[in-house]
Amino acid sequence: MKITESRMSSLMVSVSGVRGIVGEALIPEVVAKFSAAFGRLTQEGMIVVGLDTRTSNQMFRYAVFSGLLSSGCEVVDVGVCPTPSLQLMVEKLEAGGGIAITGSHNPAEWNALKFIRSDGLFLYPEQGKRLLQIYAKERIPRVKWDEIRQVHHDNLAIENHLNKVLNTVPRRKIKDRRFKVVLDACNGAASLISPQLIRRLGCEAIELNCRPNGIFPHPPEPTPSNLKQLSEVVKSEGADIGFAHDADADRVAVVTEKGEILSEDYSLLLATKFVLSKRKGLVVTNLSTTQALDDIAGEFSSSVQRTKVGDIHVSRQMKEKKAVIGGEGNGGVIIPEVHYARDGIAAIALLLEYLAEANEPISKLAGELPRYYMVKKKLEFTKGDFSLLKVRLKEEFKGEKLDFLDGVKITLKEGWIHIRPSGTEPVIRIITEAKTRKEAENLYQLALGLI
C-alpha cells in the first residue's frame, strides 16, 4: 500500500455533487445531463444558478442553462458570486433550488456542480441519491418545444448577502475600531463582496488578489502554505488581521497582525469561543475536527455534537438541533443567524466583531486557544474491504471508545485516530490528533500498522 497524491481523470460523482478535471472527465455534455436530472428532481421549478470566477465557467454555465431548460425549469442567473450568496438567493427568491458551478478549493483545472435545495442547503444525501438515479437513466424526460421557459438575470445576490450579514453584527462597535484588514480572495468569487463588507463595517480594506478573473495566484485552498503572500502584506501594511478565502468563499482562514498564518481550523475555534461567550448552546462539527473545539465548549458548559464528514451533515444537524454555532476544521464556519451554510463572508464579520469586543490583538486571541497537533494522510485502498477492517479494529481496541458513524474513530488517552474510506476516491483517509506532534505521529504509525 503506498501513499498517493491521486489526480484522477475519472468523474467524481457522489451524493453531494459531481466534479472532475475540465475537458477530461468534466465536459459540457455531463454538466447538461446532470442539470437536466436536477431539473427533474425539483419538478420544473425555478432554479438559481451562480458561479465562481474560474475560466471554465463560461463554458459550463450555458450547459447548466440548457440542461435545466430542457427539463422545464425557469432559470435565474445570478452570475459570479460566492456559493453562500447563491444559497441565500435561493431562499430569498423562494426558488425550487440552485446550482453552484464551482470547483471550490480545488485548483483551476477542476470544476464541479453543487446542488442546492429550496431552503438554501445542499441536497440531503437521500435526495443526492435520487438525483444520481435520475442521472443514470439513459433518457431523462425533456419538455416539448413550447414548454421551454426563460433565463432571467438577477444581479442582487451580493447585495442581498451583504445586507443579511451586516444586519447580524453591531456595525458601530466595529466601526469605532477602524481596523486595517487585508483580504486575499485568490481572484475568486469573494473578490467584490468581502472588500465591500470590510468597508461597510468602517474598516480599511486592503485588497490582495481581488480581481475576479479566475486566474489563481496560488492554489485556492486557504491552507497555511498558500497564505504566505497574505502574511507578507499584513506585515508590510501593519494591518490588524488578514483573511483568505477559497474560490467560492464558503471558507475563510486568518493571518494575525504579526503575520502568523493560522491553520484553517482556527476560524471555527475563534468563532465558537466568541459565540459561546455570549450565548451557551450546542456546537456541531464533524468527526475529524480538532478536540480543541470540545475544550472550548467545555469552558462555557456547552457541548459538541459530531456528524459524518461532509458539510451537509453539519448543516442538517445544526438546523435540526438548533445549534448556536458550527462548521468544519477546513475554515468553514456556519452562523445560524445568517443561514445554515458555510459562509466565509459571515465569518469575517463575526471575527471582526470578536476583535472589536475583545480589545486584544488577534494573535493573543489565537494564542489563548487550546492547541493540538494533527496528522492527515490518505492511502490507496483499492482492493481493501473496510468492513473487515472494522471487525479487526473492534477486536484490537476492546474496551476503548470506538465510533462507527463514519469509518471508525478511536479515542484513546493520548489522542484520537479517525480512519475513513473516501466517498469519491479509492483511498482511505487517516487523521490522528494528540497534544504533541510526536504523539500524533505515533498514533498515525499505530493506524498504519492496523491497516
Which residue ranges make up the site for Mg ion (CB under 5 A)? Answer: 104, 246, 248, 250
Q: What string of H, E and C letters represents the secondary structure of the chain? A: CCECCCCCCCCEEECCEEEEEECCCECHHHHHHHHHHHHHHCCCCEEEEEECCCCCHHHHHHHHHHHHHHCCCEEEEEEECCHHHHHHHHHHCCCCEEEEECCCCCCCCEEEEEEECCCCCECCHHHHHHHHHHHHCCCCCCCCHHHCCCEEECCCHHHHHHHHHHCCCCHHHHHHHCCEEEEECCCCCCCCHHHHHHHHCCCEEEEECCCCCCCCCCCCCCCHHHCHHHHHHHHHHCCCEEEEECCCCCEEEEEECCCCECCCCHHHHHHHHHHHHHCCCCEEEECCCCCHHHHHHHHCCCCEEEECCCHHHHHHHHHHHCCCEEECCCCEEECCCCCCCECHHHHHHHHHHHHHHHCCCHHHHHHCCCCCEEEEEEEECCCCCHHHHHHHHHHHCCCCEEECCCCEEEEECCEEEEEEECCCCCEEEEEEEECCHHHHHHHHHHHHHHC
Q: Of 246 and 260, which has the nearer Cβ to Mg ion?
A: 246
Of these residues, 16, 56, 70, 104, which one is catalytic?
104
Task: Give bridge partners of residue 114 from the DSSP assignment.
Answer: 100
Q: Of 331 and 415, which has the nearer Cβ to Mg ion?
A: 331
- In whole angstroms, how close is the CB of 132 to Mg ion at the nearest point? 22
Residues in the chain: 451
- In whole angstroms, how close is the CB of 308 to Mg ion at the nearest point? 18
Q: For residue 39, which of 115, 146, 119, 152 has the smallest C-alpha distance?
A: 115
Kindly give the pairing relationship between strand 325-327 and strand 333-334.
antiparallel
Q: Of 114 and 420, which has the nearer Cβ to Mg ion?
A: 114
Q: Of 91 and 250, which has the nearer Cβ to Mg ion?
A: 250
- In whole angstroms, how close is the CB of 247 to Mg ion at the nearest point? 7
- In whole angstroms, how close is the CB of 105 to Mg ion at the nearest point? 5
User: For this structure, is 387 an active site residue?
Assistant: no
Q: Of 259 and 332, which has the nearer Cβ to Mg ion?
A: 332
- In whole angstroms, how close is the CB of 365 to Mg ion at the nearest point? 25
Q: Residue of minimal CB distance from Mg ion?
A: 104
- In whole angstroms, how close is the CB of 251 to Mg ion at the nearest point? 5
Q: Of 87 and 104, which has the nearer Cβ to Mg ion?
A: 104
- Residue 146 makes CB contacts below 8 A (sequence gap 6+) with none
Q: Of 246 and 439, which has the nearer Cβ to Mg ion?
A: 246
Q: Of 42 and 106, which has the nearer Cβ to Mg ion?
A: 106
Cell numbers 457522489 label which residue?
14
List, by residue number, the catalytic residues.
104
